[in-house]
Amino acid sequence: MAKVLAVLSSGHKDTENNYETGWWAEELFAPMEVLENAGHQVELASPKGGKPTLDEVSLSEEYDPEGKYKKMYESGRADNTMKLSDVNPEEYDAIFIVGGHGAMYDLAEDETLHGIINSVYDKGNIVSAVCHGPAPLIWTKRPDGQSIIAGLDVTGYPQAVEPEGLPEILPFSLEGKMSEVANYTADEKVVWGNEQLLTGRDPFASEALAEELVKALDQKNK
């Protein structure tokens, strides 16, 4: 059994633009289900700890037509997260960073998270992220001062499909920033940059990313 840390945004509220966001339901619950069904343990963390803010759009009929993730959310599966500052990265075989636009606000430049990512990576373990979740990877610097994704093949949520009007109020373009340091593609659902770094394009890549993660964990534990 492997132990996996899932990191969620605590949420962001922009009163000026009447905009609130956080983490995306499918991007936590689909991977959690795949990992747990494979016998692995998933623990949750966020910058503030406690119950992080969900992006309510992710439970809408468009994105959760069967109400599966709504049911999982209402069961309290994500109500109690550790503070990132309380995480011991030595305990984890992998980390995956959950998307949702919230990740661009409170996870992207969180130095505590960067330290956790580097610690997991330095142990030879797996760093993964989906959708907007790769945002903090851009600012996670290795000892040479380069981003952890520098020169690697990566994916993440494409700029072309951001909701209308939203790019104007987001803190940066995910695709744009990733493209500055890495080989960004929107053509693949999931992309291994190297044997330790895995990224997924969008919510619909969540399950595929988890399946890749399970294969890699199984291979490591042989």
Distance between CA atoms of 82 and 52, rounded to whole angstroms? 10
| Residue 219: pLDDT band with limits 50, 70, 90 | confident
The pLDDT value given to residue 79: 97
131: left (phi over 0), alpha (psi -120 to 50) or beta: left
Q: Percent of the chain scored above 90 by pLDDT?
A: 96
Work out the average pLDDT over 163-176: 94
Answer yes or no: are the C-beta atoms of 79 and 146 closer than 8 Å: no
CA-to-CA distance for 32 and 51, rounded, in angstroms?
17
Q: Could you report how far apart the first and last alpha carbons of the chain are, in Å?
A: 11
Give the pLDDT confidence score for residue 221 in this predicted structure: 73
Q: Give the tens place of pLDDT for each residue, 136-160.
A: 999 999 999 999 999 999 999 999 9
pLDDT at 56: 95
Strand-pair category, 126-130 with 197-200: parallel
Residue 203: pLDDT band (50, 70, 90) is: very high
- On average, the pLDDT of the chain sits at 96
CA angle 98, 161, 28 (to 5 degrees): 15
Residue 220 binned pLDDT confidence (cut-offs 50, 70, 90): confident
Whole-angstrom CA distances from 31 to 60, 115, 132, 142, 200 are 19, 23, 15, 27, 11
Q: What is the pLDDT of residue 36?
A: 97
DSSP string, 117-131: HHHHHHTT-EEEEET
Closest CA to 142 of 193, 103, 187: 193
* Percent of residues, the chain, with pLDDT higher than 70: 100
Q: Evaluate whether 177 touches 166 at the Cβ level (below 8 Å).
A: no
Q: Which of 162, 159, 164, 104 is nearest to 129 (CA)?
A: 104
Is 222 a residue whose pLDDT tops 90? no
Q: Going from the N-terminus, what domains does the chain have, and what CATH number goes with each?
A: 3-220 (3.40.50.880)
27-42 average pLDDT score:
97
Q: H-helix or E-strand containing 171?
A: none
- Do the Cβ atoms of 121 and 114 come closer than 8 Å? no
Total-model pTM = 0.96
